[in-house]
Amino acid sequence: MYNWLFSAWHEVCCTICSLHSGLIDVCKKYVVTPWRDQRGCAGSFPRDFRDSVPSDRRHNGGVVVRSIYLLRHPEIKGKGRYIGRTNAELSENGLKQAERIKAYFKDIKLDMVISSPLKRCRGVAEQIALQKDTRLIIEECLAEIDFGLWEALSYNEIEKEYREEWEEYMARPLLFTFPQGDNVVNYINKSAACFERYAGEFTGNILFVSHAGFIKSVISKIWYDDVRQFFNIDCSYASFYQLNGKNAPVYKPYPFY
């Protein structure tokens, strides 16, 4: 009975979203949507990241489900531009978001923090690791996609100066290679492989502090098993996904955590 009611409400919510994009928050509020299809509605996530844990953390000799967090860095200076490998500073609002992030994770068990080397991530990761007195790893494969010659340019500047390439990007975004930068689908595959390596090798709760590109790669490639969903996944500044076993990733946008 419950499953039938939930399915019916889910379909109603999706219909509302498809009728008016301004009501997309209805889906966000009442349906957990770690990714959204064309109607903005949730899918299924088959991967299982349950893990055996040390005996002192088991319940009745069994196995507990660990948590993995995929956190995007706070807001940066230069919004509205293609900021990939550029070492951008946090904005004034981003500094406030960083404090909120620290406060949230203060009482959460973390066994490891893994961060992109870019300072908009590394600064937050270092503060959390210090606060939690836990291991910190700086990992290059958590870095944002390399936009090459498009780095630090605005959308209008790119469209004007790289008209032909821009049209190619709009037509086939996953196959596109940024001028002197990364190929999109190669970046997605590399990021997902990086995540699986750390999630598979290490036990306990892990916090990844990274970028929108890395997080969208993990969700689309691993859980949805369809890299075409990369561009449909929400990942705003200072927001994160929480992964627990086979359960669908829970998206927690700032400041609603």
Are 70 and 17 in the same domain?
no
DSSP 99: H
Cβ neighbours for 57, distance < 8 A, ≥ 6 positions apart: 64
Question: Residue 111 sits in which domain range?
Answer: 45-252
Residue 88 within a domain: yes
pLDDT at site 47:
52
Residue 36 within a domain: no
pTM of the model: 0.78
List the CATH number of the domain containing 225. Answer: 3.40.50.1240
Are 97 and 15 in the same domain?
no
Number of H helices, E strands in the chain: 8, 6
Are 21 and 63 in the same domain?
no
Q: What is the pLDDT along the chain (257 residues), one digit of tens a residue?
A: 433 443 444 443 443 333 333 333 333 333 333 333 332 333 334 455 544 334 344 343 444 578 999 999 999 998 889 999 999 999 999 999 999 999 999 999 999 999 999 999 999 999 999 999 999 999 999 999 999 999 999 999 999 999 999 999 999 999 999 999 999 999 999 999 999 999 999 989 999 999 999 999 999 999 899 999 999 999 999 999 999 977 789 999 998 87
Residue 37 within a domain: no
Residue 177 within a domain: yes
Are 163 and 207 in the same domain?
yes
Strand order in the sheet with 240-244: 135-138, 112-115, 206-210, 67-72, 240-244, 250-252
Are 98 and 219 in the same domain?
yes
CA atoms of 158 and 151, how far apart (whole Å): 10
The two structure tokens encoding residue 125: 């990761």
Count the domains in the chain: 2
Q: Which of 228, 254, 249 is nearest to 93 (CA)?
A: 254
Core vs surface per residue 14-29: b (16+ CB within 10 A) or e: beebeeeeeebebbbe
